[in-house]
A and B are shown apart, each in its own frame.
Chain A
C-alpha cells in the first residue's frame, strides 16, 4: 500500500514535471509579453478608439468616425509639417551617410589617431538629446553664441543670425542632426568595412586599380546591404525627431522647423485635441512601419540575390 502510494506520488511528480517542462517556454515569455501588452498594445488599441472621437477642451464630445483621418489631408499645417519632415529627413540622412562613409573609410585604413577619434565620435550619441538642443542654442544665439563669437574673433565684429529666419533655422536643425548622428552611420559602416573579405581588394591592387575604382567596384557593392540597414535605421529615427526641436526652436520661426512629431504633440497637449492628435500620430506610425517593412524586404531580396 505504502509502496504503491510512493509510486503514485513519484509518477504524479513526474507528470507534473513534464507539464512544467511543457509550460516552461510560455512561463518564461509571460512577464515580458504581459508588460508589452499592458503598456504598448493596450494603449495603442485605446488610442485607435480615441482617434475616432472629437475632443473639446480635453473632453471627448462625440464620435466622428474617420473624420479625424480625413481632416488631416485638408489641414495645411499637417501637409506642411509632413513636407518639412520629409525635407529634413532626406537632407540630414543623405549628409550623415556621405560623412559617415567618408570617415569610416578613413579610419578603416588605420591612420594615426583612428582609435582616439572613434572614442570621441561616440560622444554626440550619448549626450542627452535635449542637451544637444541647449548646445546648439548656445552655438546659434545671435548675441552670445559660438558662431557670433567666432565671427567677432576673426572679423572683429558682426552677429550671426541663424534661428531668426526660416530657411537658416531649418538648416541649423539639419546641422544639429548631422552633428549628433553622423557618428552612428560611421560606427555601423566602419564595422561593415572591417568585416569585408580582404582578397578582392588585394586582387584589385595587383591589377593596378586606383583607389577610387576599388571603392566603386568592390567596397560599395559589398557594403550596400549594411549601408541599406544604416540608412533605414536613421530614416526611421529621424522621421520622429522631437526633443532637439522642442528645445531649439519649438517648430519656429513660423512653421519652418515644425516637424510632424512637434505638430502632433502640440495638437494633443497644447490644444487638447487628443482625438485629432492621435489620428495624426497613428498615420505617421503607419508611414514609418510601411517604410520599415519595404526596406526590410528590399534588404532581404538583395541578401539572397
Chain B
C-alpha cells in the first residue's frame, strides 16, 4: 500500500515536470486564433505555420549552424587540452607542489560565476576584434570547459592504478604511448560523462554568447531565441515554436546518452 502511495507522488511530480513543457510544445502547433480564444493543453487542429514563419522570417538555421560549430569545436579542444593537463596533475609531482595549487586554482575558475567575467571579456574581445565571431566564442567556451574537464578527469585518472601504465612502459612503450593505449581507454567512461556534460552546458550557455555576439552570423540558438522573443513579444505561437526548436537537439542528445548523464550533471559530486 505504501509503495503505491510513493508511486502516486512520483507520478504527480512527473506531471509537474512534463506538463509545462508539453504546454509549450502544444502551443507551438496552435494557430494564433486558437491560442488566444480557446484555452487547452493540446491543439484541436495542428498547424506548422509557426515553424514555417520561424524559418522564413528569421535566422534560425544560421543560429543552429553557429551553435553546432562553436559547441563541437570548443568541447573537442577542451577535452584534449583538459585530459592532458588532468593526466599531468594526477600522475606527476611538479615543482613546489604545483600540482595541488593548480588543481585548486582550476577549481576556483570553475566556481567563478560567468557573469563576473563577461564585462572584462567583452572589453578584451572588443580590443582584439574578436566580437561577433566564432573564434571569440570558441576561445571563451574552451577555457570555461577546460577547467571542468581537468577537475573531472583528474579524479578519473587517479582511480586508474599506476601499475598498469608502468607495466606497459617496462615493455618498452613511452609514457605517452602508455597513456594512449592503457590509461585513456580505461578512463573512457569518465571522458564520455565529461564530454556529455560539456556539450549540454555549452549548448545551453546564454550570457557569454549574448555579450560576445551581435548578429546572426555568430549568434547561437539561445541568443537567437531570446532576441526573437524580445522582438515579437506577444506572438505566443512563434515564441513556443522557437523554444521547442531550441531544446529539441539537446533533449534528444540527452535521451540518447542518459545512462552516462548523472555523474556529469552533479559536477562530480557523485562518483
Contacts and interface: CB of A to CB of B under 8 A. Distances in A.
B119 A274 contact: yes
A39 B143 contact: yes
Interface string A80-114: 00000000000000000000000100110101111
Interface stretch (B47-55, B82-90, B159-167, B184-192): B82-90
Interface in B118-169: 118-124, 139-140, 142-144, 146-147, 150
A36 B17 contact: no
B76 interface: no
Given A29-B85, A134-B225, A278-B119, A106 B39 contact: no
Contact of B27 (A116, A138, A239): A138
A292 B111 contact: yes
Interface stretch (A66-74, A166-174, A198-206, A240-248): A240-248
A153 B39 contact: yes
A138 B123 contact: no
Contacts of B94: 25-26
B96 interface: no
Interface in A1-44: 21, 24-26, 28-29, 31-33, 35-36, 38-40, 42-44
A112 B226 contact: no
Interface string A101-134: 0010011010111101101111111111111001
Contacts, number: 269
B219 to A, nearest CB: 12
Q: Identify the interface centre among B4, B87, B222: most chain A CB within 10 Å of its CB.
A: B222
Given A21-B175, A236-B111, A122 B267 contact: no
Contacts of B13: 103, 117, 121
The contact size tier of chain B is: 35 or more
Contact of A277 (B18, B119, B266): B119
Nearest to A287: B113
A138 B250 contact: no
Given A135-B243, A138-B24, A146-B19, A233 B267 contact: yes
A214 interface: no
Interface residues of A, number: 90
A261 B88 contact: no
Contact of A240 (B40, B114, B120, B266): B114
A230 interface: yes
A148 B39 CA distance: 8
Given A39-B140, A138-B23, A138-B24, A109 B6 contact: yes
A222 B203 CA distance: 37
A16 B144 CA distance: 35
Given A32-B146, A149-B39, A284 B116 contact: yes
Given A128-B221, A152-B39, A229-B269, A39 B115 contact: no
20 contacts: A31-B85, A39-B139, A39-B142, A44-B116, A47-B120, A111-B3, A113-B7, A129-B204, A131-B246, A136-B20, A138-B236, A187-B262, A187-B266, A191-B262, A246-B206, A246-B226, A247-B226, A268-B122, A274-B123, A288-B112
Given A33-B102, A36-B143, A188-B266, 4 more contacts: A40-B109, A109-B3, A122-B261, A131-B246
Interface of A: 21, 24-26, 28-29, 31-33, 35-36, 38-40, 42-44, 46-47, 50, 103, 106-107, 109, 111-114, 116-117, 119-131, 134-139, 141, 143-144, 146, 148-149, 152-153, 179, 183-184, 187-188, 191-192, 226, 229-230, 233, 236, 239-240, 242-243, 246-247, 261, 264-265, 268-269, 274, 277-278, 281-282, 284-285, 288-289, 292
